[in-house]
């Protein structure tokens, strides 16, 4: 049997070796957690151009609340907002068994901070000044990783 993964404008049929019976359709949705309107506007424009749905919030509290809804596969976030760190999103994912990926948007990020972010659970770190044009491509890869997390979690539940 096959498992269907749908990303906007693309569908992938994946054969699972355990031949699990499952069907999953998910809308690829992106949450942007950013206080800077110009960065948010640039991201939203890039995502629209790539036919990706996105929503935005301006602080970490609203970001965590939105993340809890389970509607998002990828979250693009600045490392810090006035009310907290992106690490709160990791806590939300762990507490609620959510399978989203986090991409950090940084203006200044030291190599040791980048390494720590990757160890803690960030999918990627993009430099806001130079890397934003890559955001839709990174989002597509992150959706795939989030899908695999969900699939692995479901497969583990079926085997238990």
Instruction: Name the pTM for this structure.
Output: 0.78
Q: What is the mean pLDDT of residues 54-66?
A: 97
For the stretch 40-49, pLDDT in tens is 999 999 999 9
Residue 6 predicted with pLDDT over 60: no
At 158, is the pLDDT very low, low, confident or very high (cuts 50, 70, 90)? low
At 153, is the pLDDT very low, low, confident or very high (cuts 50, 70, 90)? low
Instruction: Write phi, then psi, for 131 (nearest 5 degrees).
Output: -100, -5
How far is the C-alpha of 96 from the C-alpha of 73, rounded, in Å?
14
Instruction: Write phi, then psi, for 21 (nearest 5 degrees).
Output: -90, 110
* Strand partners of residue 10: 7
**3 state DSSP class of 44:** helix
DSSP state, 51? T
At 131, is the pLDDT very low, low, confident or very high (cuts 50, 70, 90)? very high
For the stretch 91-129, pLDDT in tens is 999 998 898 999 999 988 888 999 999 999 999 999 999
Give Cβ neighbours of residue 87 (< 8 Å, ≥ 6 apart): 120
Q: What is the mean pLDDT of residues 76-93?
A: 95
Angle between helix axes 37-49 and 135-159 (nearest 10 degrees) is 80
């Amino acid at each position: 049997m096959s498992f269907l993964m749908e990303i906007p404008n693309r569908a992938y049929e994946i054969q699972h070796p355990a031949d699990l019976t499952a069907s999953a359709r998910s809308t690829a949705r992106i949450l942007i957690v950013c206080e800077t309107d110009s960065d948010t506007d640039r991201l939203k424009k890039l995502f629209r151009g790539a036919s990706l749905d996105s929503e935005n919030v301006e602080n970490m509290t609203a970001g965590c609340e939105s993340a809890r809804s389970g509607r998002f596969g990828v979250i693009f976030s600045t490392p810090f907002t006035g009310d907290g760190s992106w690490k709160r999103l990791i806590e939300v994912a762990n507490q609620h068994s959510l399978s989203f990926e986090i991409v950090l948007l940084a203006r200044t990020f030291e190599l040791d901070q980048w390494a720590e972010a990757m160890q803690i659970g960030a999918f990627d770190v993009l430099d806001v000044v130079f890397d934003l044009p890559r955001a839709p491509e990174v989002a597509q890869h992150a959706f795939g990783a989030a899908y695999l997390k969900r699939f692995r979690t479901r497969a583990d539940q079926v085997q238990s």
